[in-house]
Amino acid sequence: MQTIITSSRTRDTIILALFALIVLTAPLWGQLIGAGYPDLLQKFAIFGLFAIGYNIMFGLTGYLSFGHAAFLGVGSYTAVWSFKLLSMNAIPAVLFAILLSGLFAAAIGFLSLRRTGIYFSILTLAFAQMSYNLAYSVLTPITNGETGLRVLRDDPRVIDTALGIQVGSSPLSDFFGLTLTGYPGFYFCAVMLILGFWFSLKIFRSPYGMKLLAIKSNQVRMEYTGFNTRPYLLSAFVISGMYAGLAGSLMAITDPLAGAERMQWTASGEVVLMTILGGLGTLFGPILGATTIKYFENIFSAFNEQVLHQAFDFLPQVLTDLMVAITSPFVGEGWHLTLGVLFMIIIIFIPGGLIEGIERFRRLFRRRHQPPGENPPGSRSHSSRGPAT
Amino acid sequence: MTKSSKTTNESRRDFLKITAVGGLAASAPMIFMKSAHAYLNEPKGATVTLGFNVPQTGAYADEGADELRAYKLAVKHLNGEGDGGLLNTMKPLSLKGSGILGKKVQYVTGDTQTKSDAARASAKRMIEKDGAVMITGGSSSGVAIAVQSLCQEAGVIFMAGLTHSNDTTGKDKRKHGFRHFFNTEMSGAALAPILEKEFGKDRVAYHLTADYTWGWSQEGSIKKYTEALGWKTQSAVRTPLGAGDFSQYITPVLNSGADVLVLNHYGKDMVNSLTQAVQFGLRDKQVNGKDFQIVVPLFSRLMAQGAGENIKGIFGSTNWNWSLKDAGSQAFVKSFGAEYGFPPSQAAHTCYVQTLLYANACEMAGTFNPCGVIAALEGFKFDGMGNGPTEYRAEDHQCFKDVLVVRGNENPSSQFDLLEVVDITPRAKVEYPPSMLGGDLGSCNA
């Protein structure tokens, strides 16, 4: 018994160490795929966190929430207000963002979780859309509407003022003197991502995580055995809301600005796509999905005909023009199309997402070279998928 | 119980170990990334990269597409290809048609999606990955202001594209940001005398306003100048950007008692709201014994094209129109037409001019260093760019020039001949003291 626990704990430590290594060396491997610049790496980490948190709700309990962008927005606004009122230091911003989005998630979760299945999804969508409209046009004194909430030089910042810290003409967030833009900003996000991943790993391995999974596989049976499932669901909802709030605050930390469009339903849909694309209910899947989508959004959308012509330069002139004509609808402003095609291919052929794809590839490789060993670590802790409710 | 507490203890220790190792790994690349440049993205090779950040999707996508055409044309002309365009008419001119400071001009493009977040992400990619030394573009003041402050923080130049809000060079002005386009204050000052002449002093206005910085700014300016004439403002309703359907906002106008509708909309929003207002029969109505009128304070030929017949006889102001007869305008229309087969919009014009002005300032300063470029642009007086004598005012980085008051053409001679220039308001009449709009430029960041 003891050895089994130890070995699984060692395995988890290895997973975590490996994950930390991959994340922290992102500037190096990012260079290889043309993604090695701070802004995109920050986005990878931030949306990775968002998706990890979302996966705790959707992946474990099977409850499909369409309103998580609202918590992202609350996190962003809270962080910017913390910059405006308290200090440009990132720590209070992160703490308050997590706290407030947690409270917000508790309120929305309390109401929405009275229903299951599609009704739950619609309720969360309705609440998120309400939050978006409030932020966009009703609560403009708090959110500054479409223009977005910005940090100004003449904001009070009581803590900074008390400590005698001066800011420049355009205030930037800092971590005890270290300005959090560019690579320092990425490493701050990366550390948060690793912490978030570690916490998610703990949940996956805990009895609490097992109960969430049990809710997914059969909530009614769970209730008949005497479990009150609502506290579990609500706490999972709040935890994933706090992840979203943390991600939102990191967006504000790396770029001190908060806009209502972060709360739009398309942003909620995006995190659903990220989770499914990567692998629902897996540890790494959501991060992989988030990275893929952000990569497409930032790199594919920047390809223009000039770039395509260079890419196909080795072909004869006629073929170059033909290839450019064929590929140009799929890059630049057509990046959504490419993403859509990729998404369809994955859902049809490997419904378990990119993680299942990698797994299949690895199994194929193993069958050829060595007899199958024990269950490989780090992925697909369970095989059930699809909403159970 | 003991076992579980032991577990948490150990995992905390593991966690600390990992963090320590991670911290070391994190600090390693930083050492290599210390830059050896005098300023951000200093061009070291034979080329210099400019970033063209325009809306390719959303309510302002038409404007964005035209802006991109203009930028590509400007790059051609700067590199000495094509017919040279405004390089032939600009005075004073330091450019030689061999790139900028002997370096060939390259460009990267991005989609702002007319969203501040997306625009900043796209601009950051250009600065951090592609090494752009100047960012230009935008067809929304919200985006322009967001990107302008980003460029100030990063230490590159921002040459604003189509942005009309007072705030861009008012309360949100930045040392690194420059605007050639006019603003709502100038629109108000130029429009008011014409509105008085055409519609009289006793009018009741109803505003529909795009709910963001530009809409607020234009609503404020038009209110300020029309109320000075003696007009009353019945109410001002805010509409979301990119609403698509405005019927719910237009129905209340019918029975509000107002006799002028001011549409503070732009792009596809303006096309939709104007079309719907006309379909609802507003222009055939009689209110307070007067014909009902519609005013669109910021007009563009692209929008006129979208709105079709409905545009006829409607007053507005514009930065530039292709039908102008001066040498600069003619040269630009000629080379743009030869390249793309149709005349350029005001958005295309301002973006083209901004690119040339930036390049020229680099030549004047003899460097790409933003501090030098800023010094060269501040107070720069030029002519031959289509707007007559123009000055980049040093105090707020706003261009001052004549403003056009236009009306939708009743008898267009071609599908592009949609705006008729009613009046050219001289610069002196639209000028205001720099302190009026507040704000603080800050200092050069390089």
pLDDT at B99: 92
B443 within a domain of the structure (yes/no): no
Q: For A16, which of B18, B443, B445 is closest by C-beta distance?
A: B18
Complex ipTM > 0.90 = no
Does B114 lie in the same domain as B72?
Answer: yes
What is the distance between the alpha carbons of residues B163 and B218, in angstroms, rounded to a whole number? Answer: 11
Q: Is residue B59 helix, strand or coil? A: coil
Does B392 lie in the same domain as B372?
Answer: yes
Residue A380: band (very low, low, confident or very high) from pLDDT cuts 50, 70, 90: very low
Among the candidates B299, B318, B337, a domain finishes at B318
Pairing of strands B399-400, B390-392: antiparallel
Q: Which residues of A touch B129 (CB under 8 A)?
A: 34, 36-37, 39-40
pLDDT at A83: 93
Does B214 lie in the same domain as B96?
Answer: no
Residue A265: band (very low, low, confident or very high) from pLDDT cuts 50, 70, 90: confident
B63, containing H or E segment: helix B61-78
Does B363 lie in the same domain as B394?
Answer: yes
* DSSP E strand boundaries for B259-301: 260-264, 286-287, 290-291, 293-298
What's the distance, CA A278 to chain centroid?
Answer: 11
Q: In this predicted structure, which of A99-108, A256-265, B30-39 has the lowest mean pLDDT?
A: B30-39
Output A368 or A253, whichever has higher pLDDT: A253
B209 within a domain of the structure (yes/no): yes
Does B171 lie in the same domain as B80?
Answer: yes
Among the candidates B318, B346, B376, a domain finishes at B318
Residues B176-208, buried b or exposed e (16+ Cβ, 10 A)? bbbbbbbbbbbbbbbbbebbbeebeeebbbbbb
Average pLDDT over residues A97-113: 96
pLDDT at B440: 86
Is A374's pLDDT higher than 70? no
Both tokens assigned to A146:
């479409």
Does B314 lie in the same domain as B191?
Answer: yes
B316, containing H or E segment: strand B315-318
Both tokens assigned to A118:
């599609």
Q: Which residues of A touch B142 (CB under 8 A)?
A: 146-148
Is A36's pLDDT higher than 90? no
pLDDT at A164: 84
pLDDT mean by block of 10 residues, chain B; 446 residues: 45 59 49 57 92 88 91 94 91 91 92 86 90 91 90 92 93 93 95 93 93 91 94 91 87 90 92 92 88 92 87 93 92 94 94 96 94 95 93 94 92 87 92 90 85
CB B349 within 8 A of CB B320: yes
Both tokens assigned to B74:
């400007």
CA atoms within 13 A on the CB side of B180: 34
What is the distance between the alpha carbons of residues B383 and B379, in angstroms, rounded to a whole number? Answer: 13
Dihedral pair phi/psi, residue A62, rounded to 5°: 80, 5
pLDDT at B400: 95
Does B54 lie in the same domain as B177?
Answer: yes
Does B211 lie in the same domain as B118?
Answer: no
* For A171, nearest residue in chain B (alpha carbons): B153
| Total domain count, chain B | 2
Q: How many helices (H) and strands (E) does chain B have?
A: 13, 17
Q: How far B239 CA sits from the closest chain A CA (Å)?
A: 9
Q: Which residues of A touch B151 (CB under 8 A)?
A: none
CB B298 within 8 A of CB B316: yes
pLDDT at A376: 46
Number of other CB atoms surrounding residue A311 within 10 Å: 15
What is the residue range of B229's domain? 185-318
Looking at chain A, list the stretches that DSSP marks H as alpha helix, in order from N- to C-terminal side. Answer: 2-24, 26-32, 38-55, 68-85, 90-112, 117-133, 140-143, 158-163, 182-205, 207-224, 229-254, 265-278, 285-299, 305-311, 317-327, 335-349, 353-369
Does B277 lie in the same domain as B156?
Answer: no
pLDDT at B389: 93
Q: How far B387 CA sits from the closest chain A CA (Å)?
A: 30
Does B346 lie in the same domain as B310?
Answer: no
pLDDT at B23: 52
pLDDT at B1: 39
Q: Which residues of A touch B153 (CB under 8 A)?
A: 170, 172, 181
Contact A9 B238 (CB under 8 A): no
CA dist B266 to B144, B209, B239, Å? 15, 10, 12
List the CATH number of the domain containing B211: 3.40.50.2300
- B40 closest CA partner among B107, B126, B98, B167: B126
What is the distance between the alpha carbons of residues B119 and B331, in angstroms, rounded to a whole number? Answer: 32
What is the distance between the alpha carbons of residues B154 and B146, in angstroms, rounded to a whole number? Answer: 12
Q: Is residue A183 helix, strand or coil? A: helix
Number of other CB atoms surrounding residue B224 within 10 Å: 14
What is the distance between the alpha carbons of residues A362 and A380, in angstroms, rounded to a whole number? Answer: 13
Percentage, residues of chain A above pLDDT 70: 91
Spell out the domains of chain A, with CATH numbers in brackets: 2-302+350-369 (1.10.3470)
Output A300 or A130, whichever has higher pLDDT: A130
B111 within a domain of the structure (yes/no): yes
| DSSP class of B85 | G
Q: Which residues of A touch B25 (CB under 8 A)?
A: 21, 24-25
What is the distance between the alpha carbons of residues A229 and A224, in angstroms, rounded to a whole number? Answer: 10
A vs B: CB pairs below 8 A: 125
B223 within a domain of the structure (yes/no): yes
Residue A302: band (very low, low, confident or very high) from pLDDT cuts 50, 70, 90: confident
Q: What is the DSSP string of A91-148?
A: HHHHHHHHHHHHHHHHHHHHHHTTS-HHHHHHHHHHHHHHHHHIIIIISHHHH-GGG-
Is A389's pLDDT higher than 70? no
B23 within a domain of the structure (yes/no): no
CA atoms within 13 A on the CB side of B425: 24
In chain B, % helix, strand, coil (3-state, to 5) comes to: 45, 20, 35
Spell out the residues 6+ positions from residue B247 whose beta carbon is closer than 8 angstroms to its own.
Answer: B276, B280
CB B218 within 8 A of CB B264: yes
Q: For A24, which of B25, B121, B122 is closest by C-beta distance?
A: B25
pLDDT at A147: 75
Does B152 lie in the same domain as B121?
Answer: yes
For residue A184, whether the previous peptide bond is cis, meaning omega lies within 30 degrees of 0, is no
pLDDT at A312: 80
* For A41, nearest residue in chain B (alpha carbons): B125
CB B131 within 8 A of CB B49: yes
B63 within a domain of the structure (yes/no): yes
Average pLDDT over residues A354-361: 90
Q: For A257, which of B21, B146, B238 is closest by C-beta distance?
A: B146
Q: For B213, which of A20, A38, A147 is closest by C-beta distance?
A: A147
Contact A298 B108 (CB under 8 A): no
A333-352 pLDDT per residue, tens: 777 888 888 889 988 998 88
Q: What's chain A's average pLDDT? A: 87
Q: Which residues of B touch A40 (CB under 8 A)?
A: 125, 129
Does B189 lie in the same domain as B178?
Answer: no
Average pLDDT over residues A298-327: 79
B24 within a domain of the structure (yes/no): no
B425 within a domain of the structure (yes/no): no
Crossing angle for the helix pair A229-254 and A182-205, nearest 10 degrees?
A: 170
Is A229's pLDDT higher than 50? yes
pLDDT at A378: 43
A116-170 pLDDT per residue, tens: 889 999 999 999 999 998 998 888 888 887 778 888 878 888 988 888 887 766 6
Dihedral pair phi/psi, residue B382, rounded to 5°: -145, 170
- B297 closest CA partner among B315, B276, B270: B315
Contact B33 A145 (CB under 8 A): no
Pairing of strands B232-239, B204-210: parallel
pLDDT at B243: 79
Amino acid at A268: S
A245-255 pLDDT per residue, tens: 999 999 999 98
Average pLDDT over residues A315-323: 83
A18, A301, A339: best to mutate for the B interface, most B CBs within 10 A: A301
The long-range contacts involving B420-425, CB below 8 angstroms and separated by at least 24 positions, are B420/B323, B421/B321, B421/B323, B421/B324, B422/B194, B422/B315, B423/B190, B423/B193, B423/B194, B425/B189, B425/B190, B425/B193
Among the candidates B303, B318, B333, a domain finishes at B318
Contact B15 A198 (CB under 8 A): yes
pLDDT at B60: 85
pLDDT at B3: 43
